[in-house]
């Protein structure tokens, strides 16, 4: 049984054939996590030079342009690197932090928030995995108009791959289980003191 047949039982024969041929080529291509985050960092530098008002309409073209420069095999690895961090950010403490600051956060909104967080770069993502109470500092440094981004990176990668090949990226299924512990609102002052102070200050009337 081929590698693709083991990974994708029940897939149509055409996809199995495509995936096996693709794996044979991709195995000889290297696109590291550093390469991926360097691309994100360059996009962030470009976006930081754009005025706030047109920021949203520029973000998709900036990321789309960078993604379009990757080879098809590099897109495969970029998706793997993206998904690895996206899963690491799937933590209850992070969800509790953004929910407290934003006044609620649905399942879809938490996905969009993690997408936005990844557009900020690797360091903010790692910082949030280590301590969700770092969120106020990240917001202060990186927020322009929104804390939620609708798949600017992930959809950009998958759409580019499908446009070139006619097939979905042959990604292995990854278990994405919610990790960590919930922080209820009563515990925020002690467990997320920076988030608590940030929201308190934000609620003060402007003078």
pTM of model > 0.85? yes
pLDDT tens for residues 64-109?
A: 999 999 999 999 999 999 999 999 999 999 999 999 999 999 999 9
Q: Is residue 20 part of a domain?
A: no
Q: Is residue 13 part of a domain?
A: no
Distance between CA atoms of residues 109 and 92, nearest Å: 14
Q: Is residue 190 part of a domain?
A: yes
Q: Is residue 88 part of a domain?
A: yes
Using a pLDDT cut of 90, give the percent of the chain over it: 71
Q: Is residue 2 part of a domain?
A: no
Indicate the number of domains in the chain: 1
Output Rg (C-alpha) for the chain, integer angstroms: 19
Q: Is residue 4 part of a domain?
A: no
Q: By residue range, what is the domain housing residue 151? A: 31-203
158 near 79, Cβ under 8 Å?
A: yes
Distance between CA atoms of residues 134 and 194, nearest Å: 7
């Amino acid at each position: 049984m081929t590698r693709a047949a083991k990974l994708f039982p029940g897939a149509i024969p055409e996809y199995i054939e495509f995936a096996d041929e693709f794996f044979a080529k991709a195995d000889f291509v290297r696109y590291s996590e550093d390469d991926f985050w360097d691309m994100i960092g360059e996009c962030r530098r470009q976006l930081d030079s754009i005025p706030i008002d047109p920021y949203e309409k520029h973000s998709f073209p900036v990321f789309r342009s960078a993604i379009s420069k990757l080879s098809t095999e590099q897109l495969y690895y970029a998706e793997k690197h993206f998904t690895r961090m996206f899963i690491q950010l799937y933590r209850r403490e992070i969800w509790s932090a953004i929910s407290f600051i934003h006044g609620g956060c649905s399942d879809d909104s938490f996905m969009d928030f993690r997408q936005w967080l990844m557009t900020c770069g690797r360091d903010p993502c790692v910082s949030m995995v280590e301590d969700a109470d770092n969120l106020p500092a990240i917001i202060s440094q990186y927020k322009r108009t929104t804390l939620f981004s609708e798949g600017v990176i992930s959809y950009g990668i998958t759409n580019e791959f499908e446009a070139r090949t006619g097939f979905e990226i042959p990604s292995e299924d990854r278990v994405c289980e919610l990790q960590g512990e919930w922080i209820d609102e009563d515990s925020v002052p002690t467990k997320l003191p920076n988030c608590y102070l940030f929201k308190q200050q934000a609620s003060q009337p402007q003078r």
